[in-house]
Chain A
Amino acid sequence: MSSVTGQVAYAGAPVAPKRANVFKRIFNHRNDYLYVLPALLVMLIVIAYPVYYTIELSFFKTPPNLQMKDKIFVGLDNYWAILKSDSFREVTINTAIWTVASTFFAFLLGLGAALSLHREFAGRGVMRAVLLIPYVVSAVAASYVWKWLYHSDFGVIGALAVQLGLSDKPINFLDNVHTVLPSLIVVNIWKEFSFAMIMLMAGLQTVPEQLLRAAQVDGANAWQRFWHVTFPHLKGVSMVTVLLLMVANFNSFIIPWIMTGGGPAGASDIWITQIYTIAFGRQRYGVASAYAVILFIVMMTLGYFYVKALTKGDESRAG
């Protein structure tokens, strides 16, 4: 066979247009900026100013009576105090366990649910609706329900464990420093896996049928088809889902606050509940602000990767 098409061979990545000066680009797009200006102004007032004020407060020792004119500049003392404290280490470890475990298992469960719902079977619509319930139920209501399910005297889970012979007495899930965090993580996974499921179900619809058929003819079994065709297709949506779950988990407040308030003995304290306790429990706004700034930096790092994952998808679609 002769050499083919007469088409120009692909020459690697497309050459990026020479980057113009930032100000010049803004000037060239001044009308576009004009259109987003109203939204930008509102955002500045409700987001940028609070962020700025939090950063400012983090450098001050603040009076508990909220008379902010009496605040005293202490430089980075608040930060040092937090970073050196034992509680910070514990809370950070809790937060890390909470975030990683919740994200990992919620994603895994969501993937399993999405894959099983992707096949045709009787009652699929009903199953899909049922599996969506955790996502639509209010977190506050769900937390109270789970608190009762876990209750050491009246809890259904403990009673079931006794009846099934798994335990000789009701289990004290929430008042035990060893079981409280895993118990809360279970609730969080239950609440979040539907979200991962929805995202991945949408992703699964984009896997081309012909590719799966080609793999079938090529001799791939069901697992190999998943690993070589389906999963690579889900990479983008998986990245986005994991990042969104991580952001949500770093920021979780409702489930730990309502179910345990961070207790017992700080065993279920994570960053957000800790910040809340410091600010509104102990009225130490400066320290709480410094704490919030640390969290903010972590979140912005995650956000950077999130936006990068999103725009990467755009580029490959455009290309």
Chain B
Amino acid sequence: MAQVVLKDVVKNYGNVYAVNHVSLTVEDGEFVALVGPSGCGKTTTLNLVAGLIPMSGGDVVIGDRIVTDLDPKDRDIAMVFQNYALYPNKTVYRNLAFPLQMRKLPKDEIDKKVQAAAKVLDITHLLERKPRELSGGQQQRVALGRALVRDPRVFLMDEPLSNLDAKLRVQMRSEIKRFHQDLHATVIYVTHDQLEAVTMADKMAVMNGGFLQQYDSPANVFANPVNMFVASFVGSPAMSLIPLAAVTRGTEVALTSPEGWELPLSPANARKALNAKSPKVVLGARHSTVKLHKSQVPGSVPGKVYTVEPTGDITFAQVFVSSAILNISLAPSVQIRPDEPVFIEFDQDKMHLFDGETEMALKAD
């Protein structure tokens, strides 16, 4: 296994930058998820690491070698594709043996490695079948097996679970995580599903519009999103963002809404709000950090219930606050109805403040 370093990697098609000066380091044995919406450049980044498309600029280093100008086969990587990309005319055995055959290994060694990989993935009984005779989950295992036999320095996975049904996806998710833990493999994993990234990865690289937005552990990304995009992309349901305005009242700072209510800020939050380039400040709050009251309490702001979604152990409510919709999680015992006026209390320690102009998270210093 090896470390992977992307140095200022660029891929552009004319004026369109699919990958815009991305730099990041994947440590040896680390599981890194590249995550972002469709078209954010995550798959392009993975293909650049694999060498499947030529780079416009920058370097890729795997282990101690600069591989920027090497063919995919010389980079010592293995790749798992979204549609599994199994060779349909070959049996499972021959699919697993193919990368070894291409490397001209002796037959008995190929057999040994194929059998070993098949055993790890529990597909020994499928070796003589053709891919079309397998279920989606089984095909995915074979695809993993084909990556595994090679004993590569890096595993690249391109949305390997998105073709599976929901139940199987959850199961395969834990299997891939286990696979990573057992092998101490370096894995770069592309997904559009932030939940997959959060649950599986040691670190997640959130991308949007070709730019790397944030690269950190899932817990840190969740707790301290650097900008409004990351805040709204990571977490389910997403963080609610309410555009407001900061006003100074003597020594106090408050956020005001166009409707006229005011939310006084704690000293720490006040310092953040004053760092904004303009009075425009966006308040961000996760569903679990806000409280809902049926009558006004000090520091609460008015809202109106939009929808109520019971899920069993938690009830999600969407509440209109100023011009935005706020997600709130409630105990199922709380009884509210749509259109009911309610009051919202924010946790000053857990709220996020963003600059309304730059969309960046505001800091206290």
Contact = CB atoms under 8 A, between A and B. Distances in A.
A5 B79 contact: no
B146 A218 contact: yes
Contact of A211 (B50, B85, B168, B171): B85
Interface residues of A, number: 25
B135 A214 contact: no
B61 interface: no
B73 interface: yes
B307 interface: no
A125 interface: no
A186 interface: no
Contacts of B211: none
B203 interface: no
B213 interface: no
B137 A217 contact: no
A219 B73 contact: yes
Contact of A228 (B79, B87, B150, B175): B87
Contacts of A213: 47, 50, 52, 79, 81, 85
A7 interface: yes
- Say which size band chain B's interface belongs to: 35 or more
B121 interface: yes
Contacts of B175: 1
Contacts of A319: 132
B141 A4 contact: yes
Interface string B80-106: 011101011110000000110011000
A219 B52 contact: no
Contacts of A3: 122
Interface in A204-239: 208, 210-211, 213-220, 224, 228-229, 232-233, 235
Interface string B110-143: 0000000000111000000100111101100100
B171 A4 contact: yes
A216 B83 contact: no
B350 interface: no
Interface of B: 47, 50, 52, 71-73, 77-79, 81-83, 85, 87-90, 98-99, 102-103, 120-122, 129, 132-135, 137-138, 141, 146, 150, 168, 171, 175, 178-179
17 contacts: A4-B171, A5-B171, A10-B134, A210-B82, A213-B52, A214-B85, A214-B87, A215-B98, A217-B72, A217-B73, A217-B77, A217-B79, A218-B102, A220-B98, A228-B90, A232-B89, A319-B132
